[in-house]
Every structure is written in C-alpha cells, then in structure tokens.
Amino acid sequence: MKKAKIKKKDLITIAIIVVILVIILLAIFLFKGQKLDANSTLVNNLYNYLGSNDLEVCNGLQVYSNEEVNYDVLDNETKLCTAYRLLDEESKSSNDYEGNEENTCSINDNIVFATNNYEDDICTVEEVSKDELNNTYKQVFGNDISEDGEFLINYNTVCYNNGDNYYCGLAETYTKTFGAEPHTYRTIKDVYKKGDEIIIYDYFLKIVNGECYSSYVNGTTNNNCTNELPENEDDYNIDYDFLRKYGTLYKHTFKQSGDTYYWVSSIPE
C-alpha cells in the first residue's frame, strides 16, 4: 500500500495557518493577558465585591450603571454597606438590649433601635469595631474609610457609627417600596490577569414587569430583548446564550495590593 505524500505546497499552507494562529494567540495574550478560571476561588471572591444578588441589600447592584462607576462615583453609604456585607461573621458580635414602653432600645443618646419584630421586649444589635470594618473596606476598595456615617443594610436594618464601633439593628421607621420587583441576571464571560490587574467581563440584564433594561442604574429599555420574553414570568429561560445576545457586556477592573486585589471600576463596554 502506498503512503499518501503531503505536497510541499500543502506543508507551506499548514505552516502559514499555524503561524497565524500563534500570532493571534500571542496578540490576545499581550492585549488581554493571561486567561483565568472563572470558577476559581479568587475570581468568585472578587465577583462578590460587585454586589449581592439579594437586591434589597446595599442598594442592589450599583456598579452596573449606564456609565463608568469607580470609587469616587460610588456613594459612601453603598461602600460602607458593601464592606459590612463582606465581613467575616466572626468579626461581629450580637448583643441584646432591653426595650422600653415605646418598643425601642437606646444604645446611647444618639443611637436608638426598634425592638425585635417591632413588638418584642429586646433589641438584638450587631456590633463591629470600626477597625474591623475598615480592614474589609480597604481590602475591597483600596482605601481607608473616608467618611463615617449611617447606612442601610436593607429597607429596615440600619447601622450607626459611634466612636470606635458600628451598631446595626432594626430602624425605628422604614419605607418599603411596593410594585414590580426587578430581576437581575449576570454571568461571567471571561477573566484575564494582565500585569497587576485582574479584569472580569460579564453580561448583565435587568427585567422589571416584563421589560428588559440595559443596566441596573439609569438603564434604558431593550425592546429586542423585551419582545423575546414570554408573557408568564415563570416561563423565563435566561441562559448564557440569551444574556450574550441581549445583555450588556461589562468590564470590571481589580488592582493588586500585596497579596489581594481591590475593585477599581466597572464600565459598560
């Protein structure tokens, strides 16, 4: 049996294709950097900096705006709340305070909380030192806390600063907004390490009352997406392909500081 011979012309063609592929891969590596595993612990931890999927916590996904969001743009309340949300539970302590006839508890002259369930005899209050909160704040944002102040964890849980500590409990009064609740969907596309930066690309989509929006903050409607939604919300099938086609691509940049990375910016592409 005769062995098939590869013609010199075919060898040249194969060599050219290989060279082109190598050049493309090198260009991608030099431009975007080293590709990282999107499911790694490091990437998951950094992705958690961007916000909670529980939209009642820390004002929702505030970094997903229609324009660049960075440290200077993000409001102080959201930054403090984000640091508190990411605290290790071991760094917090829980204490009970006796309530009064008005169903409130006074920590001091400036800090008052409602009793548990607004009707119990005690207030359960979480406490954390400002130093502990600042450590997490600096890990996430690369800066020390620039401004102390109160912040809401959700619609009825508030935190106050008093000297060296923060106290968090039920607010005396609260406002609950009723209406169609937003649903958000996001999925990581790619993750790259370039120099001292890690960049996460992901797709994002918000749906409210059967309408698609391009971002969580100041989003515009996406009629092409809306037209593809089933009438029944329970029938939504928002998978990766749907997000890639109708979602907004975001670029989230994190910069190295020692052995960790802090969030720098989030930008719609």
**Cα–Cα distance measured from residue 209 to residue 229, given in angstroms and rounded to the nearest whole number:** 11
**Cα–Cα distance measured from residue 233 to residue 230, given in angstroms and rounded to the nearest whole number:** 7
Going 165 to 170 to 173 to 175, the CA torsion angle's sign is positive
**Cα–Cα distance measured from residue 167 to residue 147, given in angstroms and rounded to the nearest whole number:** 16
Residues 6+ apart with CB under 8 A from 262: 138, 139, 140, 141, 142, 254, 255
Token pair of 109 as six digits: 């002259």
**Under 8 Å between Cβ of 266 and 64:** yes
Token pair of 250 as six digits: 């975001």
User: pLDDT tens string for the chain (269 positions)?
Assistant: 445 556 666 667 777 777 776 666 555 555 578 999 999 999 999 999 999 999 999 999 999 999 999 999 999 999 999 999 999 999 999 999 999 999 999 998 899 999 999 999 999 999 999 999 999 999 999 999 999 999 999 999 999 999 999 999 999 998 777 767 899 999 999 999 999 999 999 999 999 999 999 999 999 999 999 999 999 988 999 999 999 999 999 999 999 999 999 999 999 99
Q: 3-class SS at 155?
A: coil
Q: 3-class SS at 76?
A: helix
**Under 8 Å between Cβ of 48 and 63:** no
Closest CA relative to residue 71, chosen from 172, 19, 18, 145: 145
**Under 8 Å between Cβ of 98 and 122:** yes
Cα angle at 21 between 17 and 26, to 5 degrees? 150
Element counts in the chain: helices (H) and strands (E): 6, 14
Token pair of 145 as six digits: 């806390």
C-beta atoms surrounding 19 within 10 Å: 10
**Under 8 Å between Cβ of 150 and 161:** yes
